[in-house]
Structure 1
Amino acid sequence: MPFVMYQALNRGIGWLARGIATLGGLVLIVLIVMTSLSITGRALIFLGLGPVKGDFELVEAGVAFAVFAFMPWCQYNRGHARVDLFQPVFGAFLNKLIDLIADVMMFVAAYVIAWRLYLGMIDKLNYRETTFILQFEIWWSYAASFVGAAAFVLVSAFCILRSLRALLGKPTDVTA
């Protein structure tokens, strides 16, 4: 793959990962505001206020989406936990090989997570299961989370390409 094409792909994947993580962050901010209002409403019940109806259902769905929304950004930036105890004694080639193996393993994990989340979403869709208080369909939460999981798969596939290029001595930095 020519470097110009790789640069464009890198920018696109970076934009996707950053964009979905930003969306996840905005959802968390909304959840924080809603939770604060709900707690305040509970505290001021004597004034006729009350909690936000279904607040815990909304928090559950929103946090699930946010977790999946942050995973692509974390993978793109190599932010997942890693054990680099022996990294200083290994040479550059072996470290790049380990990065490639780790990226392949993360891709497999991302794919399995997305696949199982998709099957769960289809199951919830078929049974029309709803939440207890708000009565919104649970598959909506699964679908929102699946967007992040699908992005995680795409970003993980790109990271394999990036690690492979590094292993082969090809440039991977978009500023090169």
Structure 2
Amino acid sequence: MIQQVCDRETDRPEQRVKERTTAKPTGKGSPLQEVYVNTSSLRVDAVLRRVCRIFAATGGIILTALTLVTVGTVLGRAIFNTPIPGDFELVELGGAIAVSFFLPYCQIHEGNVIVDIVTAKAPQGVKRLLGALGDLLLLVISALISWRLIHGCLQYKDYGDVSMILQIPTWWAIPPIIAAFILLTITCASTMVTNLLAIGGSEDAK
């Protein structure tokens, strides 16, 4: 299991670019064209990873702030018999935002749980193909959730729904979640393309 994780971590886009640029021409296209395409995809991947890292860091900051709110509520109730008003509302809204901000980072680093009992000894190309299919499925789901979140956000705004104690408009928490799921959709597309290119690279190596 540890060896599989190490193989997955070392199979980076940078390594695949180097392998493809040093490969002999096969007649399918100019080596310079392959270098240009792979270099461009590498730049896009680097930018996407940076954006996912920013989202994850922001989610961590939000989660830390919510932890401090919870601690303040416990201490306030124990010492002064006065909890922070609306603490559960802040945890509810902020927790939803924080969790959604972690999803793109988890996806681009292949951190999702994978049940590989059947495919543990399968060829690398088969694993990459199954990974691409999983990315496609998650892409469709995240795009669908993004669409419904936009629809729900507009409805909450029209209804004027607010929280019970702090009177915070409910729809305020939805746009950041929409942005996170749109980023997740883009990330799924990127990882799917990466897996498909890895399949082509393994076939060329053979």
Q: Does the pair score TM above 0.5? A: yes
Cα-Cα RMSD: 1.4
Shift of 1:86: 2.1
Instruction: Give the aligned partner of residue 84 of structure 1.
Output: 116
Whichever structure has more helix as a proportion of its residues is 2
Cα distance in 2 for partners of 1:113, 1:70 equals 16
User: Which one of the candidate residues 155, 162, 168 is aligned to 2:187?
Assistant: 155
| Cα deviation digits, residues 133-159 of structure 1 (max 9, x gap) | 111100011122212112111111111
Instruction: Give the aligned partner of residue 56 of structure 1.
Output: 88
Cα distance in 1 for partners of 2:188, 2:70 equals 33
Structure 1's unaligned 5+ residue stretches are 171-176
Count of residues in Structure 1 that have an aligned counterpart in Structure 2:
167
User: Which one of the candidate residues 67, 72, 75 is aligned to 2:107?
Assistant: 75
Structure with larger RCO (C-alpha < 8 A, sep 6+): 1
Is the partner of 2:42 in helix, strand or coil? helix
Instruction: Give the aligned partner of residue 140 of structure 2.
Output: 108
Instruction: Give the aligned partner of residue 12 of structure 2.
Output: none
Matched, 1:7 2:42: yes
Matched, 1:31 2:66: yes
Matches within 5 A, 1:113-128: 113-128=145-160
Cα distance in 1 for partners of 2:84, 2:179 equals 27
Identity within the alignment, %: 28
Matched, 1:44 2:79: yes
Matched, 1:129 2:170: no
Is the partner of 2:162 in helix, strand or coil? coil
Structure 2's unaligned 5+ residue stretches are 1-35
Instruction: Give the aligned partner of residue 178 of structure 2.
Output: 146
